[in-house]
């Protein structure tokens, strides 16, 4: 029922957004709503639920660029290692009883893997020019095994005490006995054996790069590809309850995609190649820079005990570097480049558990004493995650932009255990919260609803405070809602423009069967070219209608209110405006101008937001047009004569208009078709023009009637006739 109500409110909120002076509801209930929020000690589930996060405590800051590996001995001593670019040695750290020290310094740029055997002896693998060192309790280190490989990506022991070493850049896995003697155990036929784990049956689980293969290798060295990922690099593999979990990152390219080959248990020696020609895994370079990214994001797979694969998580940008498990056996994903740890709750739900101050989560290990150890890169630190929850956490929301000065109303939260949740708000008129905003003000919730007392402004932010419940559990927030009302803003009429005479919107009234073509107006505010009339079916298209004239306008409302318009007209020199039409919803109007005397006029458009506001709160805005001419009087034809001249007829006449330029003149003989006539000056640019036309007599002689027709620029026409001698 709760979800149904929330959905109803969400739909309602969308509906009222169409009328900005109605009460609106700012609702946050989806994970995406909190993408720009600041979460302190609060976890965010993928369905938008907020809960207290597990304790995430810094144990050690090594001040190195990155830590890659973490391991623990039977006494609970923790070992971490990594490195920094440009360093000549890599440091192995030990944390015992809360005290940290550098246990050993090893030749090499970095430590990428650490393992501890049943006798609590510590092994650390360096890269590049990879070697495996065994470190004694006194910190003395000696080379235990040299695989003759550039990189060592992972190490793991089987139940018999054999150490397996995953290497690059020839993609080999070595098997090393307790005596330090070893050899190549398996050839992946890929460039890098990038990740390594051992299952409960002493099978190796190997992830590769750049082919993105996940292999199961038996104790006899027989390999089988259990899954070929669409991703380039399998950065992490882990085993839990017979199932294999693997993370694939990065997009493949055709140049690096290998053919799907089932590796041979006894590979032949590959041809020699220059180490510089081998590709380096993408995650190594990515971890060295906080701003580095890997195209393609990540996918996480679960391969069941029977071999069936399933994709269980994906992200378009976060890169999975490590896979671990919490105390309840749930999968943890350590990611970059935002330093987030995710927990998979089910096939469909996951939780953004914590955000680290470091850029990448590079390794995780379940502790014997509870909780999970976490190592990071940029900066290299050791953290302890859980197992207990934080006692208190906060969520600072993203900023609501109400888009105008607004009043804040009721705030409401939904969820479970809300007795441990408090709510505060603050407001301001800057788009970024700061000292020039109002103070945080508590919202008195009773039981989960209260009024925000923050001052009216344009922007609002809320802060949730969550405290652990009496039983140690966490409250859960599923919805935060704040009501607000935007102050009404007067509309604006930004432009008013009249249309050419003798055209109207949009239903044409044409009295002849040969109607002139439609006229297409340019965008509002632009001049109409003199290049003729074009046909168009858009909303700017007018239809010919003699005697009509129109106006169109551009108006808007800061609240998004529906507007209606009053259109008035006034002659130049007149005092009062005469109503043409009121409560117009369109942004144009045409009217019959023949009822108005010829002259200069203006129209005035008044916009009102009354349709969406109470009468006492409705606001208006007005704008007048430039002056325009109404001219419905045709020109006059005078001094018309027809005289014989050299066997032809010379037709003379004058055309005169009191207000408008003579635009066109024509003549006809004995009722024939109209023929254009040019003025004596050749230019049709005056109120008065003179015409002379030489006309041939009709064949066969007889009476000759000459007619002249002239029109002004408003298409007012007159016709006159005379008889030739």
Note the pLDDT tens digit of each residue in 240-266. 999 999 999 999 875 333 333 333 333
Average pLDDT of span 155-178: 97
Burial group, residue 531, by CB count within 10 angstroms (0-12, 13-18, 19+): exposed
Cα–Cα distance between 602 and 573 in angstroms, integer?
A: 10
Stronger pLDDT, 469 or 347, i.e. the higher one: 469
CA distance 601 to 593: 11
378: left (phi over 0), alpha (psi -120 to 50) or beta: left
Token duo for residue 446: 């009773």
Identify the weakest region by mean pLDDT among 259-268, 412-421, 708-717. 259-268
pLDDT of residue 527: 54
- Mean pLDDT score, 398-419: 96
Please compute the mean of the pLDDT values over residues 92-99 and round it to a whole number: 95
Work out the average pLDDT over 425-443.
Answer: 96
Confidence of residue 321 (pLDDT cuts 50, 70, 90): very high
pLDDT at 669 over 50: yes
Q: Is 189 helix (H, G, I), strand (E, B) or coil?
A: coil
DSSP 8-state code for residue 475: -
Residue 277 has pLDDT above 60, yes or no: no
Residue 532 pLDDT greater than 60, yes or no: no
Question: Percent of the chain at pLDDT above 70?
Answer: 88
d(CA 539, CA 518): 12
Closest CA to 503 of 549, 539, 552: 549
Q: Average pLDDT for residues 108-132, to the nearest whole number?
A: 95
The stretch 482-496 carries a mean pLDDT of 95
Q: What is the pLDDT of residue 18?
A: 43
The SS3 call for residue 520 is strand
Q: Phi/psi of residue 282, each to 5°?
A: -65, -35
The reported pLDDT for the residue numbered 507 is 59
H-type alpha helices, 458-502 = none
Contact call for residues 350 and 343 (beta carbons, < 8 A): yes
214/225 Cα distance (integer angstroms): 6
pLDDT at 666 over 90: yes
Quote the CA–CA distance of 21 and 17 in Å, as a whole number: 9
Whose tokens are 């009328």? That residue is: 19
Give the residue from 663, 724, 719, 718 showing the smallest Cα distance to 695: 724
Q: 343 pLDDT exceeds 70?
A: yes
CA 378-380-386 angle, 5° bins: 110
| Gap between the Cα atoms of 473 and 6, Å rounded | 24
Q: Which helix (H) or strand (E) holds 301?
A: strand 298-303
pLDDT digits (tens, 9 = 90+) for 50-91: 999 999 999 999 999 999 999 999 999 999 999 998 888 999
**DSSP β-ladder status, 231-240 and 243-251:** antiparallel
How far apart CA 332 and CA 342 sit, in angstroms, is 6
pLDDT range class, residue 272, cuts 50, 70, 90: very low
Helix (H) or strand (E) holding 544: strand 541-544
**Which residue's entry shows tokens 């105390």?**
327
Are residues 461 and 431 in contact, defined by beta-carbon separation less than 8 angstroms?
no
What pLDDT sits at residue 373? 98
Residues 6+ apart with CB under 8 A from 661: 684, 685, 686, 687, 712, 713
The residue assigned the tokens 């109607």 is: 515
pLDDT at 274: 37
Closest of 139, 311, 332, 150 to residue 230, by C-alpha = 311
Question: Do 124 and 133 contact (CB within 8 A), yes or no?
Answer: yes
Name all domains of the chain by residue range, CATH numbers in brackets: 2-53+393-486 (2.60.120), 54-261+290-342+356-389 (2.120.10.30), 492-630 (2.60.40.10), 636-723 (2.60.40.10)
**Summary count for the chain: helices (H), strands (E):** 2, 57
| Tens-place pLDDT, residues 214-242 | 999 999 999 999 999 999 999 999 999 99
Who wins on pLDDT, 409 or 530? 409
pLDDT for residue 437 is more than 90: yes
Q: What band does 282 get if pLDDT is binned at 50, 70 and 90? A: low
Binned at pLDDT 50, 70 and 90, residue 350 comes out as: very high
Listed in sequence order, the residues at least 6 apart from 484 whose beta carbon sits closer than 8 Å to its beta carbon are 23, 24, 25, 26, 400, 402, 406, 407, 408, 409, 460
Rounded Cα distance between 199 and 172, Å, is 19
DSSP 3-state assignment of 7? helix
Q: What is the pLDDT of residue 524?
A: 75
Structure-model confidence comparison of residues 184 and 697, the more confident one: 184
What mean pLDDT comes out for the span 369-382? 96
**What rounded mean pLDDT belongs to the chain?**
89
Inter-residue contact 37 to 395 (CB < 8 Å): yes
Say how far apart CA 237 and CA 549 lie, in whole Å: 78
* Confidence bin at 337 (pLDDT 50/70/90): very high
**Are 190 and 261 spatial neighbours (Cβ–Cβ below 8 Å)?**
no
Rounded Cα distance between 351 and 371, Å, is 17
CA–CA distance, 197 with 204 (Å, rounded to integer) = 6
* Segment 355-374 mean pLDDT: 96
Share of the chain above pLDDT 90, in %: 82
Higher pLDDT, 4 or 374: 374
- Tell me the average pLDDT across 662-678: 95
Task: Report the distance separating Cα 664 and Cα 676, nearest Å.
Answer: 8
């Amino acid at each position: 029922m709760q979800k149904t109500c929330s959905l109803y409110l969400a739909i309602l909120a969308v509906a009222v957004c169409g009328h900005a002076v109605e009460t609106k509801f700012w609702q946050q209930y989806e994970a995406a709503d909190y993408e720009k929020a600041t979460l302190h000690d609060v976890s965010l589930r993928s369905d938008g639920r907020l809960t207290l996060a597990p304790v995430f405590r810094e144990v050690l800051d090594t001040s190195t660029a990155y830590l890659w590996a973490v391991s623990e001995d039977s006494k609970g001593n923790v070992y971490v290692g990594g490195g920094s670019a440009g360093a000549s040695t890599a440091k192995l750290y030990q944390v015992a009883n809360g005290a940290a020290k550098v246990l050993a310094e090893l030749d090499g740029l970095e430590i990428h893997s650490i393992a501890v055997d049943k006798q609590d002896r510590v092994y650390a693998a360096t890269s590049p020019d990879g070697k495996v060192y065994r470190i004694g309790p006194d910190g003395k280190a000696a080379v235990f095994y040299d695989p003759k490989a550039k990189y060592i990506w992972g190490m793991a022991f089987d139940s018999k005490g054999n150490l397996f070493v995953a290497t690059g850049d020839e993609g080999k896995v070595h098997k090393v006995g307790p005596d330090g003697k070893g050899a190549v155990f398996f050839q992946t036929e890929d460039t890098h054996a990038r990740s390594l784990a051992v299952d409960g049956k002493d099978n190796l689980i190997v992830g590769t790069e750049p082919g993105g293969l996940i292999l199961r290798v038996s104790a006899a060295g027989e390999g089988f590809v259990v899954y070929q990922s669409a991703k380039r690099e399998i950065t992490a593999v882990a085993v839990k309850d017979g199932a294999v979990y693997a993370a694939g990152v990065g997009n493949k390219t055709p140049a690096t995609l290998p053919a799907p080959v089932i590796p041979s248990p006894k590979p032949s020696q590959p041809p020699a190649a220059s180490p510089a020609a081998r590709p380096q895994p993408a995650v190594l370079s990515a971890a060295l820079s906080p701003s580095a990214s890997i195209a393609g994001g990540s996918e996480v797979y679960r391969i069941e005990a029977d071999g069936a694969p399933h994709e269980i998580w994906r992200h378009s940008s976060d890169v999975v570097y490590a896979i671990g498990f919490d105390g309840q056996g749930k999968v943890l994903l350590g990611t970059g480049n935002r330093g987030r740890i995710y927990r998979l709750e089910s096939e469909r739900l996951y939780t953004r558990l914590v955000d680290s101050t470091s850029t990448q989560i590079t390794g995780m290990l379940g502790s014997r004493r509870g909780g999970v150890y976490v190592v990071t890169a940029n900066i290299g630190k050791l953290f302890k995650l859980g197992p207990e929850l934080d006692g208190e956490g906060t969520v600072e929301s993203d900023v609501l932009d109400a888009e105008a000065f607004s009043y804040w109303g009721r705030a409401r939260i939904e969820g479970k255990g809300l007795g441990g949740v408090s709510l505060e708000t603050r407001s301001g008129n800057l788009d970024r919260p700061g000292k020039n905003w109002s103070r945080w003000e508590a919202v008195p919730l009773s039981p989960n609803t209260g009024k925000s007392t923050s001052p009216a402004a344009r922007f609002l932010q809320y802060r949730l405070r969550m405290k652990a419940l009496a039983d140690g559990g966490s409250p859960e927030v599923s919805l935060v809602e704040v009501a607000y009302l935007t102050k009404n803003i007067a509309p604006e009429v930004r432009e008013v423009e009249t249309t050419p005479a003798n055209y109207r919107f949009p239903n044409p009234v044409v009295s002849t069967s040969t109607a002139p073509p439609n006229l297409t107006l340019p965008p509002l505010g632009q001049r109409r070219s003199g290049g003729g009339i074009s046909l168009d079916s858009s909303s700017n298209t007018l239809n010919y209608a003699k005697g009509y004239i129109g106006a169109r306008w551009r108006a808007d409302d800061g609240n998004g209110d529906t507007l209606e318009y009053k259109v008035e007209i006034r002659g130049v020199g007149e005092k009062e405006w005469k109503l043409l039409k009121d409560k117009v919803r369109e942004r144009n109007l045409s009217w019959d101008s023949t009822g108005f005397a010829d002259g200069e006029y203006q129209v005035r458009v008044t916009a009102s937001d009354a349709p969406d506001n109470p009468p006492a709160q409705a606001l208006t805005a007005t704008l007048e047009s430039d002056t325009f001419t109404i001219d419905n009087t045709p020109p006059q034809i005078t001094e018309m004569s027809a005289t014989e001249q050299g066997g032809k007829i010379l037709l003379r006449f004058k055309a005169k208009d009191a207000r408008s330029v003579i635009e066109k003149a024509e003549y006809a003989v004995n009722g024939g078709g109209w023929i254009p006539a040019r003025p004596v000056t050749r230019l049709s640019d005056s109120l008065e023009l003179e015409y002379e036309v030489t006309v041939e007599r009709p064949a066969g002689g007889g009476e000759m009637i000459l007619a002249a027709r002239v029109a002004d620029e408003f298409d007012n026409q007159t016709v006159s006739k005379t008889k030739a001698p």
